[in-house]
Every structure is written in structure tokens, then in C-alpha cells.
Amino acid sequence: MSVQPFVLKPDQREPALNVVGTEVTVLASNEATQSYGITLQQGEEGTGPPPHSHDWDEAFYVLKGEIHFLCDGKDYSCTTGTLVHVPRGTVHGFRYGKGGGQMLEITGAGALAAQMFTAIDKEIPLGPPDVPKLLDVLKRNGVTVAG
């Protein structure tokens, strides 16, 4: 199947997914581009995923606020305009800082991020997550939470 060009205007986007407190809007899935994926992520202060790893490259570009990243055991405070590159297999996580934040996430070829975010939105209801169920969804989508 050849990939066709596409334009996605704001009024054509699917509704944001709830991914354990982070709003994730899938702008382009790896499947749609046959290469990379792009999501728009927004979270409230203190929210974000625990340290984890997966078998795809990932990059984040901070659009608003301050986001605290943990990458390979090092802490980084990242403000608007900062790019964070996370090679496949690297343990990483982040927390939205004071007032929350917003960023673009770009995933490399073979990523299951959009699929995983959709599964979490469907299977994990709002409120405190069912941790064993969440860990199962993550595992099914190639994500290992660091212990």
C-alpha cells in the first residue's frame, strides 16, 4: 500500500484520549504514515508516566509549561522549545511541572504508541487506575515499566 499525503485540520481530529490523566490526541499514527507517529499530549501538574522503556525511538518537543524528564537515570527540567530524544530501550518517564504542560510526541517506525493510548483510553476508566490491568495493557503494547 502506498502512503498518500494527508492534511489534518483541527476540526478533523479525533477526540483526545484519556491516558491515565494525560490528554493524548493522535495526529498521525505510525500506521497512517507507514513510518513515524505524532501525538499532542497535555497534562496537569504532577501527572505523567512512570519510568518505562519500549522498542521504538521517541522524541518530545515541549510546547507549553515545564516538563520534568527522567532519561537513562538523569533528570532534566525542560521548558518551551526543548526537544528530548529517547532512543529505543532507554528507561524514561516524565512529570508535568507547575501549571501543567503540553508537548508533541514523535515516535519512530514500528511504534505501538497510538495503539497503546487507544487501548488505555478504552480499558482504563477515569480515576485511580487499576494498576494490574494498566500494566497488562502496557505489556501487550510492548512497554515495560521499570521496577
Contact 92, 53 (CB under 8 A): yes
User: Is the pTM above the cut of 0.85?
Assistant: yes
Per-residue model confidence as pLDDT tens digits over 12-69: 999 999 999 899 999 999 999 999 999 999 999 999 999 999 999 999 999 999 999 9
Q: Which one, of 15, 33, 7, lies nearest residue 118 by Cα?
A: 15
A 10 A CB-CB count for 68 gives: 16
Q: Name the CATH code of domain 14-122 (choices 3.90.550.10, 3.40.50.11540, 2.60.120.20, 2.60.120.10).
A: 2.60.120.10
